[in-house]
Chains A and B, each alone.
Chain A
Amino acid sequence: MTEKCFDIGTIQAFLDGELASDLSEKVACHTAACDVCAIMLAEAEEETAFSFSALENEFDTFVPTNRLWAKINDSIEGNKKTFWQTIFARFSNPSVAAFAGLVIVVGLFAVMLSVKTDDDKKIFIAESVPNKQAAISTIFQGNLSESALPVKPEITDAGSVKISSPDNDKSKFKIVKADFSEKESNRRPIKVQKPNIITELNSQPAADAENENLLGEDSYVKTIATLEKTVDSRKDEVLKPAARFAFERDLAVTDDAIRKMKAEVKKNPKNEAAKDVLRASYQNKIELLNSVAEKSDLMASLK
């Protein structure tokens, strides 16, 4: 081997096609002229062919060599930029920067508008002639008691009646109705701002409350919630994996039954069979949760 000859590693890399193009060209020229290197290349080729045929199955899956990984990693390192560098690079384009500015301005306007709309929903102003008595009746989930009123009527100095919600919980009240009885004839029509929005907002919770109260299921739900808290804190230590699996499966079955029956009762509130089965499902869930608590108690008594 002469000084210009290449080592076996370079020749192997040449065979694997991992050399740079200029070096690859050099190796090709050199092996054409140098007998020693040509023999070495031939031997390497034979060895490679032999090993490839023997390890054909293993080479079917594409596994990059270490050198390839090193190259890939180096190129990634070279291209790696910080987050802020990437962001600033994006905004170097003037059209992108202008578009972003526009989006920010529109966003600010949208926020301001939504805040103003919320304020409008809270307050209704019914204009009235001065010295007129306003009889305002409100209905709060069927009750007319004054203490339960979610709205507070106020007569302002300007003669208008201002009805404002004391808190932001709009779901609590159902219908707001303002009636005015006047002694004098020169009255002006009542002007209520955006009453439709309130009606739409409140009609859904009212219907839900009606359905929930159909079965008197509050006590079931409360009991289950209390039991679930207890069981969740204990079940990992009380139940073995197999029992835990069975418990979770049974719980899922019961929850599914409750969900289906609730939907059925909601659809048809007069279906007594659905109500019966729903009650039985609630009872089953309570018993299921109780079983974990009882096992926990037994284990504690044995310690």
Chain B
Amino acid sequence: MIRQNTVVRKSCLLIFALFLLAPFSFVSAQIIETEGKIVVSPVKQRIRVKQKSKGVSDDSDQPAEKLIVVDAKVKLQLCVSTGKLKVSGWERNEIRAFVGGGSRVGFKVLQKSEQNGMPVWVEVLGFDPTKNNGNSADECLSGDEIELDVPRGATVNVKGGESETTIDSVRKTTVEIEGGDIFLNNITHGIYAKTFEGGVTVENSSGAITLVSTTGNIVAVAVGASEIGDVFKAKTNSGAIALQKIGHRQIEAGSNSGSIRFTGGFQSGGQYNLGTQNGSILLSIPEKSSFKLNASYGFGVFNPEIPLQNLVKTPTPKAQNLSAQMGSGDATLNLKTVSGAIRIRKQ
């Protein structure tokens, strides 16, 4: 009887002790779980992201390089998910593609020339189509460094995610990327460049040019038309636009909250439409320019530092129209701003 009582008492004590210890064990389990998450999760995430970006990821540590002989006026298209892309024109009728620290590379010939049988339309892929049928592979290139050498007469079309893109010495190019800066140089027959988060810089190029950015700046230096009727357009929402030595006869530039700076002379018979919402318009022009000016400004100011003839201004205190002339009035200049200033000064 006494022994039974002792056993019952001991078991009660044991259960009581277990109850007391239960919260501590729960807390320690939580700590271990949390520690595990902190240490392990970034590593897991990094591995997952790397696998996703590789596309075909068999031996990505080794750089991938491929070469294909093409027509001199080949059209080239490619997609870049991440990485720094550099496309350069060279004298050979070949395309060389190099990807360092990322995806594989391969070519897909979409069309061949009827005259010489050479590829005239080629797509650069993030995998090798001769080894992989592409079912599970990412078509977009990705890597730390992506380089392409293409014939100078090539047309290059790039679509991409976050990618800094540089294109040099090709015939024509179209670039549309989600983010990253675009640098274009020596493009001879036209540009369409659009980035949603980044700037666009164009130098020494010609043809019809359209530059679009959402949050970045646009800079164009020494550009001109390659054919009659080529238009230059620049549009940004939050950035500034700087134009220097523009040879086009039709120019349209607009910014929402950024300013526009135009430096250089006007072409005879040219039409220049510059407009901002909340930024100023600054023109630095030669002393002997010839243009007709039409300006509309809501709550801004008009401040010419050069003498203008036939200045006519509406008498309204707000939202004014203004027309004036300088020289014989060869070019037409339309300026529009809501709350920015318009300034014209000598170059």
Contact = CB atoms under 8 A, between A and B. Distances in A.
A254 B256 CA distance: 8
Given A261-B298, A288-B256, A246 B238 contact: yes
Nearest to B213: A291
Contacts of A234: none
Contacts of A271: 314, 316, 319
A243 B277 CA distance: 18
Given A277-B296, A295-B178, A287 B235 contact: yes
Nearest to B334: A276
A284 B278 CA distance: 11
Contact of B178 (A242, A284, A299): A299
A108 interface: no
Contacts of A242: 197, 215
A257 B237 contact: no
B148 to A, nearest CB: 19
A253 B197 CA distance: 19
B321 A272 contact: yes
**Chain B, interface residues (CB within 8 Å), range:** 20 to 34
Interface string B66-79: 00000000000001
A284 B299 CA distance: 17
Interface of A: 240, 242-243, 246-247, 249-250, 253-254, 257, 260-261, 264, 268, 271-274, 276-277, 280-281, 284, 287-288, 291, 294-295, 298-299, 301-302
27 contacts: A240-B197, A242-B215, A247-B214, A247-B237, A249-B257, A250-B257, A250-B277, A254-B256, A254-B277, A261-B298, A261-B319, A264-B298, A271-B316, A271-B319, A273-B321, A276-B336, A277-B336, A280-B275, A280-B336, A288-B256, A291-B237, A295-B178, A298-B159, A298-B176, A299-B161, A302-B81, A302-B140
Please provide the 3 A-B residue pairs with the shortest distance between their CB atoms, ordered closest to farther: A274-B319, A273-B321, A257-B338
Given A240-B197, A274-B319, A284-B277, 12 more contacts: A242-B215, A246-B237, A253-B278, A260-B299, A261-B338, A271-B314, A274-B316, A276-B296, A287-B254, A295-B196, A298-B178, A302-B81
